[in-house]
Each structure stands twice: as C-alpha cells, then as structure tokens.
Amino acid sequence: MSYKTKAETLADAIPHTPVVRTYRCSGHGCPMPGAIFDNPGQLTGVCAYHYAANPSDWPRITQALTDWACVTDEINACRRIHTDPETATSPGTIARQFEAAVARLEPRVGTWWDQLKPQPGRGGRMDDYRSWGLRLDRFIGARVQAVTVTPRRRAA
Ligand SMILES: [Zn+2]
C-alpha cells in the first residue's frame, strides 16, 4: 500500500507544466484532428487513421481522407457538435444539425449514399446523429484500409 493519499497520487499524475498541443493530425495535409498521443511530451497527435500505420502508408492514407473530404468534414462536424458544451446539451440543436448534415452529404456522394445514409443499426434502431457519425467513421476506415499496403504495427 502506498503512503500517499489517492489525491496526492492523482496530483502526481497530472503534468506540472502546461503542455500546449496543436490539434491537427501530424500526417501532412491530414484533415482530421490529431487526438492520439503516444507519449506525454509529444506536442502533435495523430488521428485514428494514421495511428499505428506504417509511415510509408501515411501519404496514401491522407490522400484517401482528402478524396473523401465531404465525409471527413461531416465526421468532424458531428464530433464538434457532440463535444461543444454549447450544442452537446441541446437535443433540438443536435437534431437540426443532423438534418442539415444529411442534406449536405447526400448530393455529394452519388450512389455511395446507399451505404452512407442514416439507416437502422445492429439493434434495429435508426441512426441518430452520433451513430451516423460512427457509420461515416467506419466507411472512411474501410477506405483507409483499402489503400494501406503494410500491416499496422501492434501496440507494445
Ligand atoms: Zn491523420
């Protein structure tokens, strides 16, 4: 058992000097936020698509993400609305933004709309904005997977 109180242990775990991080993924030209940091001193993070990918695949991954910018824009908009304190607690705003997002995306994706439109999920419940955002995320993940040549490195 530690001689420290739980509060002291938690305080030790918090960095004592503020770390200023940039929010863009460090994949050059990547449109996604860099939310994954491998170590505490790292100032730029990577997105989930670039994370653990072989560096030689990074340009292809960035290309896939920018080719599908209309979809990545909607993923980012969905995340922003669900994490911004102004909008995250307003079901009416979320519903209106969801409707607007669907209206923006449909005319831009042609026949891909069959895969990208809101639809019932595994439990049979129709997509809400959040689950639709995850559907778009999985779609982009599959596009990234398709252009990735080398296997992802495994976590240590
Ligand atoms: Zn990225």
Listed in sequence order, the residues at least 6 apart from 12 whose beta carbon sits closer than 8 Å to its beta carbon are 4
Predicted pLDDT of residue 61: 97
Q: What is the pLDDT of residue 10?
A: 66
pLDDT by 10s per residue, the chain, length 156: 456 777 677 666 666 565 555 689 999 999 999 989 888 778 889 999 999 899 999 999 999 999 999 999 999 999 999 988 889 999 999 999 999 999 999 999 999 999 999 999 888 999 999 999 999 999 999 999 999 987 666 655
Check if the beta carbon of residue 140 is closer than 8 Å to that of residue 75.
yes
pLDDT of residue 52: 87
- Confidence (pTM): 0.80
Q: How far is the CA of 125 from the centre of ligand 1 (A)?
A: 31
pLDDT of residue 131: 96
Question: Distance, CA 37 to ligand 1 centroid (Å)?
Answer: 12
CA of 142 relative to ligand 1 center, distance in Å: 15
pLDDT value at residue 44: 85
How far apart are the CA of 27 and the centre of ligand 1, in A?
Answer: 5
* Residue 124 CA to ligand 1 centre (angstroms): 32
pLDDT at 154: 63
Distance 143 CA to ligand 1 centre (A): 13
Cα distance between residue 58 and residue 38, in whole Å: 17
- CB within 8 Å of 62: residues ≥ 6 apart: 27, 28, 29, 30, 50
